[in-house]
Amino acid sequence: PKSGPEPDFTDPEKGWYWYGQDGSNGAELGIADGEKPPVSERAADVFYLHPTTYLDGVWNMPVDDAVYKRATEYYVSVEASVFNGSCRVFAPRFRQSVLAGMGFPDEGKLATDFAYADIRKAFQHYLANENKGRPFILASHSQGSLYTVRLMLEFIESKTLDPADIR
């Protein structure tokens, strides 16, 4: 399909922009280099969903689209870095909906459902393999916020998060 294969969330290089590591190369929010606690000592995680960067083309962006991948990596590095120094950052790749597609009721819903399927799998992978009962934050911007609300409704609202329940 034109949207490309689904991301492999078992592979940190292919399925994630950041996978629990320190994702930037400098100081964030007044935290000087050398003052950030090591990733292993950070008390919480953040599952971050980036904003829309795909502006034209097919309904959903292939994760390996070079032009939009570069733009997405920029937003992830700028926006998710606010959590560097306090959280392990998990930012999945997903086949985001084209910006124009979000304005069409039928096609837009199909495109956002398609993108959410990737995010849902990434979140399930994170919960089953990385969370281990740690506190976490769901953070997002723009299109990512649409999917964050869906994650909250599906996985969190009126539920307890037990890794045995998410497989």
Residue 29: the pLDDT is: 47
Distance CA 89, CA 44 (A): 9
Point out the residues of the chain with pLDDT beneath 70.
1, 22-34, 58, 100-103, 160-167
Residue 137: the pLDDT is: 96
Please give the helix or strand (H or E) that residue 146 lies within, else none: helix 143-151
Residue 37: the pLDDT is: 83
Please tell me the pTM assigned to this model.
0.86
Residue 27: the pLDDT is: 40
Q: Of 70, 150, 141, 72, which Cα lies nearest the Cα of 114?
A: 150
Three-point CA angle 108, 150, 140, nearest 5°: 90
Q: Of 22, 78, 87, 28, which Cα lies nearest the Cα of 50?
A: 78
Residue 150: the pLDDT is: 95
